[in-house]
Structure 1
């Protein structure tokens, strides 16, 4: 018989501000927080092992870095909101359940606010706890066990107090995928934009090189309905167009991007690829510094072809503090020996 899987990690000591049950029920509830995994295949019991080595004073916060992948098809983007649900909502829900902290204490921050329908291979986020973990593998397994199957934490590590997922980033890499065939492959339907019109990747590459450098990208930014004022001056270090059978992949790396900038750049390159516009249109649209000029020649590319592939940092800022637990890349499971009955 296969035994019940037990995940063990340290939980924080009770805080005066928290509300608790009374009597024996309180002790039982605090000692064993049952968690039902999303797929229903296993019920894991997380039992705290609290000692002086596992906990620290609340004022000495520990910061944790996560690398996250997700299929954005069903979600309203990254930014927190309960309905329709977002990636951040589900991550915070899992972290709150495991750590028993509220979202203000966790302070979960993502490196990029991907839009509804946009995917990620290497989104980065950080959160804080007033206590430490001596092992991250069980914690890692617990998070993924609580998340929907189309959201996965790939890596967890302790980070220095100076690390910030968004402001510490050196550059971001995005991909935009275009399926360039007469008939759309149904297996790419949610993961690539379909262009039945045969595109010219060489013309697209010629146009893409005009994006490289430091420019005012006002013409490629949609209006943002919030109080954040961002500089339209951005640096793009490279923009590559690669043909891979029926897929044309756009890969752009830059220090930062404006709201929907990558999708707007992809939309213009698609029009150039159709040979309806010359590659030299790019510097003219950039110089106009007016979103209306781009709207005259190209529509916004749909979100499902876009991927946040990676967020890059200086090696120094990624060094974990001294005495940190080993980085968790997930845990391999092994089948224990058992007796099989033969009939």
Structure 2
């Protein structure tokens, strides 16, 4: 039986989500290790990878279960008991055999959380603090990313992709309980694209962002820190 897992995790102390041969200290590395202990040897496939320090509230994975694991309520309970407390299984549901967490994804939603002022020990792992910023400028400039664009200037070097064109359906910012939340919804994102877009919003002016987006000029952008980024939802 193929099942889909909805997973939340605090990525602070993990080296990204994807399993790696060099280290077991990844989100899927920990999940795979626990599954093997439970007699589940299927490779776990995620909707996409998140970088070191990036969090998720709704990452989706799929895996195939042996016949003796037919109680998904019990499986969820056991997994959450065995996994580190920084990784939680929200739901497990049975899906069609041809369901694919990565290739079947139609839309991906991310949020980036900013706060103005000095960092503090209790929020620093989950919020990017900026000494001062203009919400009005952010609110105006984030809308520039909407629509279909060639995002090759907003991609980490060394990426191997067939196309750098993506469609962003929604891009907006709003205030929430003292924070500024940036919301991005697209058909897909390039490697570090969101962190580079947020970096552009914090470092470039309106005309510079337009030039970078139109590939008319190339400004050096420092990616926004990973700790403020959350994979929120995957739509199929």
Q: Please confirm whether the aligned pair reaches a TM-score higher than 0.5, indicating the same fold.
A: yes
Q: 1:138 to 1:245 in 2, by over 3 A?
A: closer
Q: Which residue of 1 aligns with 2:122?
A: 187
The CA RMSD over aligned residues, in Å, is 1.7
In 2, distance between residues paired with 1:68 and 1:267? 27
Q: Deviations over 1:141-172 (max 9, x none)?
A: 11111100100111001111121101111111
Q: Which residue of 1 aligns with 2:10?
A: 71
Q: CA deviation at 1:194?
A: 1.1
Q: CA deviation at 1:245?
A: 4.7
Bigger relative contact order (CA 8 A; separation at least 6): 2
CA contact (8 A) 1:172 1:255 kept: yes
**Residue 80 in structure 1 maps to residue 9 in structure 2:** no
Any runs of at least 4 consecutive aligned residues in structure 1 with deviations exceeding 4 A, and if so which? none
**Residue 294 in structure 1 maps to residue 219 in structure 2:** yes
In 2, distance between residues paired with 1:210 and 1:243? 19
In 2, distance between residues paired with 1:289 and 1:151? 42
**Residue 97 in structure 1 maps to residue 31 in structure 2:** no
**Residue 157 in structure 1 maps to residue 99 in structure 2:** no
**Residue 210 in structure 1 maps to residue 144 in structure 2:** yes
Q: Which residue of 2 aligns with 1:230?
A: 162
Map 1:102-251; keep pairs closer than 5 Å. 102=41, 106-131=42-67, 133-181=69-117, 183-197=118-132, 199-224=133-158, 228-251=160-183
Q: CA deviation at 1:242?
A: 0.9
**Residue 284 in structure 1 maps to residue 220 in structure 2:** no
CA contact (8 A) 2:40 2:66 kept: no
In 1, distance between residues paired with 2:182 and 2:96? 34
Q: CA deviation at 1:229?
A: 2.6
In 2, distance between residues paired with 1:308 and 1:163? 20
TM-score by length of 1: 0.65
In 1, distance between residues paired with 2:8 and 2:70? 25
Q: Which residue of 2 aligns with 1:255?
A: 187
In 2, distance between residues paired with 1:299 and 1:134? 47
TM-score by length of 2: 0.94
Q: CA deviation at 1:294?
A: 3.1
Q: CA deviation at 1:230?
A: 3.5
Q: Deviations over 1:19-67 (max 9, x none)?
A: xxxxxxxxxxxxxxxxxxxxxxxxxxxxxxxxxxxxxxxxxxx211000
Q: Say which SS state the counterpart of residue 236 (structure 1) adopts.
A: strand
CA contact (8 A) 1:207 1:280 kept: no
Structure 1 unaligned blocks of 5 or more: 1-61, 314-343
Q: Which residue of 2 aligns with 1:329?
A: none
CA contact (8 A) 1:216 1:289 kept: no
